[in-house]
Each structure stands twice: as C-alpha cells, then as structure tokens.
Chains A and B, each alone.
Chain A
Amino acid sequence: EAQVTQNPRYLITVTGKKLTVTCSQNMNHEYMSWYRQDPGLGLRQIYYSMNVEVTDKGDVPEGYKVSRKEKRNFPLILESPSPNQTSLYFCASSLSQGRGNEQFFGPGTRLTVL
C-alpha cells in the first residue's frame, strides 16, 4: 500500500530535550516536506526537500532541522524544543515538485512540549 508513515503519532516532552520525528514514504517520491498545523493558522511549511541531499527552508523553519540522506526518509529534528513548538505535524511527499502533482500526507504527529 502506497503511504507516508510518521512516528511517533503522539509525543509529550520537556523543554530542551532533543527529539526526532521520523517520516518515510514508499512511493519513490522525489519531493518531501514538513508542515505544522495550528488552530486558526492552517498549514505552514517548515522545510522541504526536492531530492536526496537537497533541502530548503519553508515559511517557519526556526527551531527545526531536517536531513535527506535517503530518498524515502525525511526526519524532522527539534534540537531544543520549546513550548511554542507544541503543534500537530504532518509529513508529505509528491512525485516531484511539478505544478500539478498532489501531495500525499502522513497521519500526523501531535507534539506537546512542556
């Protein structure tokens, strides 16, 4: 089954404790991205990657890091989480960055930073 998986689905942590949210897709997609969803603000893109070893900032990259060492994986790293990073996070992928390509989303990771 074609899918995007994220882990963990739920995470409660404390300020300053480094964490990684994993994302993997099995569709051989070139383009992957991370979003955060907050009430009243909709979806905001954090980082994206056009292919292996190619990443770039989205609209709200501060406090986040990413890497793309393999085509299928695109982990999101919070080196020193803060309470304002409490949010619902989605990973997404698409065949390429082409204008008509739909994005496939993972199920989401709900992060709470105390």
Chain B
Amino acid sequence: GNSVTQMEGPVTLSEEAFLTINCTYTATGYPSLFWYVQYPGEGLQLLLKATKADDKGSNKGFEATYRKETTSFHLEKGSVQVSDSAVYFCALSGTGGSYIPTFGRGTSLIVHP
C-alpha cells in the first residue's frame, strides 16, 4: 500500500536558519503530494501541493519539489521565523485506485528567537 515517511522531530532551529524537512513516499502510479501545517491548538491547513513530477509547490516562503526519481517531496524554507513553529505533515493522494489520502506522522518544528 501507500506510505509516507517523514524525518522525526522535533527539529529545533534559530530564527533565520535554513529549514529542510525530508519526506519520501511509496505509491503506485502518480500521486499528488501535499504539505499541511498544524499550528498549536488548530486543525491542519494546506501549505502547498504538487500534482505531477517536477512541479514545485510554494507558499509563505516554503517550497517543495515533486521528485519522482527519488520519490521525495522535501519541504524547504530559506529563513524561518518564530511564527513557523508548528507540526508539518507530508501527504499523498490519488493513486492505487483509491483517493484516500495517506499522511506521514508529522514533524514538529520549534524556532527560537
């Protein structure tokens, strides 16, 4: 079946540091890939997505590129802020005859001033 693997957290950074959160997936066919963000006490919200190979999703300074050859969708940001502290979930959907989404376990990011 489908699966999503994210790096374990927490990831702790100082403000203005470079961020990478790794995400790799296993799926048949050509899934769509997503990053969701969960701020403390809130539900998940879409951060960015990519629907085909080599697409780059971007939003709020975050970027991720759909790499089919390495089955990866790593999240990056050049300069993090304290307000980016949250839990980040990588997800995929739309493959294997089912559109039931598959989520990774989430990576907690803590940014210190």
- Residue ranges of A at the interface with B (Cβ–Cβ < 8 Å): 4, 40-43, 45, 48, 58, 90, 92, 97-108
Contact = CB atoms under 8 A, between A and B. Distances in A.
Contacts of A58: 100
Given A90-B44, A108-B42, A99 B49 contact: no
Contact of B44 (A41, A98, A99, A105): A105
A69 B19 CA distance: 45
B104 to A, nearest CB: 6
Contact of B95 (A98, A99, A101, A105): A99
Contacts of A99: 31-32, 51, 93-95, 99
Contact of B103 (A4, A42, A100, A101): A42
Contacts of B46: 102-104
A107 B44 CA distance: 8
Question: Interface size for chain B: under 10, 10 to 19, 20 to 34, or 35 or more residues?
Answer: 20 to 34
Interface of A is mostly: loop
B89 interface: yes
Contacts of A101: 93
B56 interface: no
B113 interface: no
Nearest to A106: B43
B32 A100 contact: yes
A106 B44 CA distance: 8
A40 B106 CA distance: 8
B34 interface: yes
B71 interface: no
Contacts of B31: 99
Contact of A48 (B42, B89, B100): B100
A107 B42 contact: yes
